[in-house]
């Protein structure tokens, strides 16, 4: 049903209340700690929905069939339950699963045209499509949130599968859409795009000043952004980011995950992506014990069917080749990770484990904790 159908229904009477009335609440996913509740008003929700609907954002029309793989509790459902009725698009809701074959079946069965997903979904789905040779019959665009897609995965999705890749950045506190980028296939790295109308970005450096260009903690404010505790209503995101002169955004890490190797920043997400390429590794996560340095970096890999010593040796070789000899301090091999309901690794739970099982060295000169 779109908004015109609702307005034309017999007996429909629009509710009357102040625009700043609370409309709904959503909890953050608790990736780095205790989930936080975020409140949205009818005004902020409507403004966010308009911003999502424009062609340079989600660009939905009444002919689209939209399927989010994220559940509705994640980041205010990405605004999908609001923007789809506004434009008349069909919204298809599916149960939660981590099976890419099931995702593909749903996409084909429901003739989905636009898919909402996080990078973890597409890493698995692209692997499945490549292995099986399957191709989509109706899907023509995907809006990807969360950690940025590796270039080769974005290229495969767009150039081989024929699905336009739109990478968005946002958070529960931003309703969630804040920036969006359309992959053009020419860059060697896919960033997070430019802010949509109504959103303002800045970065805060060591001097605590918010500036429109540079590197530091990402700050955001706007009409549908939760009010921050900073001066002038800036919301501190906890993300380490670079802003270019044209407001193009590149979020590299959480501040708690920031790495400096040889004086240069190194993305923990990129290290994790390379680790996932090791045979037998289902997932990978870096735990940074000393943020802002290259020291005390614990690499965790989920490899339920692999021999731990073999995984560690291959991981050492892959990472050393990719990052000019740099390797994490230590590697822990486990069967599975603790995940949030939105499929994010709960790194704070990994960090809290003092003596995990199957722990081995990545750097051979370091003694195992079990041997210490």
Question: What would the pLDDT profile of 179-194 be if each residue is shown by its tens digit?
Answer: 999 998 876 667 899 9
CATH 3.40.50.12780 fits 3-253, yes or no: yes
Mean pLDDT of the chain: 86
Q: Are 359 and 369 in contact (CB under 8 A)?
A: yes
Q: Are 190 and 199 in contact (CB under 8 A)?
A: no
Residues 318-360 have pLDDT tens digits of 999 999 899 998 899 999 998 877 778 888 888 887 444 444 4
Residue 291 has a pLDDT of 64
Please state whether beta strands 141-145 and 114-118 pair in parallel, antiparallel, or not at all (unpaired): parallel
Instruction: Judge whether residue 31 has pLDDT over 70.
Output: no
Task: State the CATH architecture for 258-371.
Answer: 2-Layer Sandwich (3.30)
Domains 3-253 and 258-371 share a fold: no
How far is residue 11 CA from its own chain's centroid?
42
- The better pLDDT of the pair 347, 81 is held by 81
Residue 7 has a pLDDT of 63
Residues 228-284 have pLDDT tens digits of 766 688 999 999 999 999 999 999 888 888 887 877 778 888 899 899 989 999 899
Helices (H), the chain: 3-8, 42-53, 80-87, 100-109, 119-132, 151-155, 268-276, 308-322, 347-352
Q: Are 343 and 118 in contact (CB under 8 A)?
A: yes
Orientation of helix 42-53 relative to helix 80-87, angle to 10°: 60
Q: 195-200: long-range contacts (C-beta < 8 A, 24 or more apart)?
A: 195/222, 195/247, 195/249, 196/51, 196/52, 196/54, 196/56, 196/57, 197/51, 197/54, 198/47, 198/51, 198/222, 198/223, 198/224, 199/51, 199/174, 199/225
* Cα Rg, the chain, nearest whole Å: 21
| CB atoms inside a 10 Å sphere around CB 82 | 21
Torsion, Cα of 69, 75, 77, 82 (10° steps):
-150
Q: How far is 194 from 248, CA to CA, in rounded Å? A: 5
Most confident residue range from 6-20, 210-224, 352-366: 210-224
Residue 270 has a pLDDT of 85
| pLDDT class of 371 with cuts at 50, 70, 90 | very low
**Cα 251–180–265 angle (5° rounding)?**
15
Residue 120's SS3 state is helix
Residue 49 has a pLDDT of 97
The token pair at 297 is 């970096």
Domain regions of the chain by residue span: 3-253, 258-371
């Amino acid at each position: 049903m779109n908004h015109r159908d609702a307005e034309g229904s017999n007996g429909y009477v629009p509710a009357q209340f102040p625009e700043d009335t609370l409309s709904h609440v959503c909890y953050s996913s608790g990736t780095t700690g205790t989930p936080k509740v975020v409140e949205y008003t009818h005004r902020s929700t409507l403004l966010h929905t308009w911003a999502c609907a424009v062609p340079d954002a989600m660009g939905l029309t009444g002919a689209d069939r939209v399927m989010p793989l994220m559940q509705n509790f994640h980041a205010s459902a990405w605004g999908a339950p609001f923007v789809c009725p506004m434009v008349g698009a069909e919204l298809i809701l599916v149960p939660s699963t981590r099976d890419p074959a099931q995702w593909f079946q749903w996409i084909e069965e429901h003739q989905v045209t636009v898919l909402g997903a996080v990078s973890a979904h597409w890493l698995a789905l692209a692997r499945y499509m490549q292995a099986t040779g399957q191709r989509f019959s109706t899907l023509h665009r995907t809006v990807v949130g969360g950690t940025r897609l590796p270039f080769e995965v974005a290229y495969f999705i767009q150039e081989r599968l024929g699905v336009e890749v739109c990478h968005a950045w946002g958070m529960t506190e931003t309703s969630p859409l804040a920036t969006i980028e359309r992959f053009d296939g020419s860059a060697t790295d896919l960033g997070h795009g430019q802010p949509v109308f109504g959103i303002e970005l800045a970065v805060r450096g060591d001097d605590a000043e918010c500036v429109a260009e540079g590197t530091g903690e990402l700050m955001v404010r706007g009409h549908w952004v939760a009010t921050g505790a900073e001066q002038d209503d800036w919301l501190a995101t906890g993300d380490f980011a670079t802003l270019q002169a044209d407001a193009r955004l590149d979020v590299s890490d959480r501040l708690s995950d920031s790495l400096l190797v040889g004086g240069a920043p190194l993305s923990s997400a990129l290290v994790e992506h390379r680790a996932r390429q090791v045979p037998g590794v289902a997932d990978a996560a870096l735990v940074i014990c000393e943020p802002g340095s290259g020291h005390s970096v614990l690499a965790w890999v989920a490899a339920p069917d692999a021999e731990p010593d073999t995984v560690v040796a291959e991981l050492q070789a892959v990472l050393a080749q990719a990052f000019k000899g740099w390797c994490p301090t230590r590697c822990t091999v486990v069967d599975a990770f603790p995940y949030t309901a939105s499929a994010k690794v709960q790194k704070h739970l990994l960090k809290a484990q003092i003596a995990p099982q199957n722990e081995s060295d990545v750097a051979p000169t370091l003694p195992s904790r079990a041997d210490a």
